């Protein structure tokens, strides 16, 4: 709250309604020293005086605290802008998550295939081969599990029937049939089981 700005605003509005400090003070039943203090930004009108003051100056309480006439359309526009930037942030976050899913998913698959081929070429003893192969499988499964968890956190699945977008749980994603990131899921809105596309918005 900018007291100086509010003070100047009170002074200009007082002059607009053709009142002196003394006249305004009289209407409010307070001293003109108090008015002078507000207008110089020394202090704010007290809560009990504010409604009557706003009425006399023909402003809203919102205007008074802003130190200017607040356009309701501007307020709405501002709220919309905030909402939009919030959505954009979420979208960007989702894109980053999805990128991580791809890196982990494809990266670990390539690594696993390469590791398996390397083992086949380099290790002749069967017992040794199995001993080295098992950690590879475990690591691969862990990576896929992590990728799936991230995938569940990023974006939404879109119902093919009613185009409702929803966030399925990790469990439903884990057990769902899938082709890439398109999954066969039951829509929570229309209840139909369709191939749901993955969307980021
Ligand atoms: Zn649906």
Kindly give the confidence (pLDDT) of every residue in the chain, 201 residues in length, as a single tens digit, with 9 standing for 90 and above.
Answer: 789 999 999 999 999 999 999 999 999 999 999 999 999 999 999 888 999 999 999 998 888 988 888 877 777 787 788 778 878 888 888 888 888 888 998 999 999 999 999 998 988 888 888 899 999 999 999 998 888 888 888 889 999 999 999 999 888 888 888 888 899 999 999 999 999 998 887
**What's the 198 CA to ligand 1 centre distance in angstroms?**
14
**Hey, what CATH class is 3-66 in?**
mainly alpha
Buried b (16+ CB within 10 A) or exposed e, 82-108: eeeeeeeeeeeebeebbebbeebbeeb
Per the listing, tokens 């999805």 go with: 98
Ranges in the chain annotated CATH 1.10.260.40? 3-66
In the reported structure, the alpha carbon of residue 158 is separated from the centroid of ligand 1 by a whole-number distance in angstroms of 8
Measure 183 CA to ligand 1 centroid, in angstroms. Answer: 13
The SS3 assignment for 22 reads helix
Tell how far the Cα of 197 is from the centroid of ligand 1, in angstroms: 12
| Residue 161 alpha carbon to ligand 1 centre in Å | 5
Res 112: pLDDT: 93
In whole angstroms, give the CA distance from residue 133 to residue 201.
Answer: 40
CA dist list (Å): 22 to 18, 40, 51, 59: 12, 15, 19, 20
Centre of ligand 1 from the C-alpha of residue 24, in Å: 63
Query: What is the predicted pLDDT for the residue at 93?
Result: 84
- All residues at 6 or more sequence positions from 100 whose CB lies less than 8 Å from its CB, including other chains: 147, 150
Q: What is the pLDDT of residue 125?
A: 86
- The predicted structure's pLDDT at residue 31: 93
Residue 200: predicted pLDDT? 81
pLDDT for 196 equals: 94
The pLDDT value given to residue 142? 92
Predicted local distance difference test score (pLDDT) of residue 137: 93
């Amino acid at each position: 709250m900018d007291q100086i700005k509010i003070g100047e605003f009170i002074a200009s509005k007082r002059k607009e309604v053709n009142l002196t400090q003394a006249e305004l003070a009289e209407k409010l039943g307070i001293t003109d020293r108090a008015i002078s203090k507000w207008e110089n930004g020394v202090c704010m009108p007290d809560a009990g005086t504010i409604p009557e003051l706003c009425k006399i100056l023909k402003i809203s309480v919102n205007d008074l605290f802003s130190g200017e006439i607040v356009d309701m359309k501007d307020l709405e526009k501002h709220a919309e802008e905030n909402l939009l930037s919030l959505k954009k942030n979420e979208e960007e976050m989702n894109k980053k998550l999805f990128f991580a899913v791809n890196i982990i998913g494809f990266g670990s698959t390539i690594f696993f295939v390469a590791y398996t081929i390397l083992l086949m070429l380099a290790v002749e003893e069967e017992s040794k081969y199995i001993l080295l192969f098992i950690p590879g499988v475990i690591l691969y499964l862990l990576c896929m599990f992590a990728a799936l968890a991230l995938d569940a956190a990023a974006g939404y699945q879109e119902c093919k029937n009613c185009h409702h977008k929803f966030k399925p749980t990790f469990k439903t994603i884990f057990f769902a049939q899938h082709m890439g990131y398109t999954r066969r899921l039951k829509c929570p809105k229309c209840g139909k089981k369709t191939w749901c596309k993955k969307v980021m918005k």
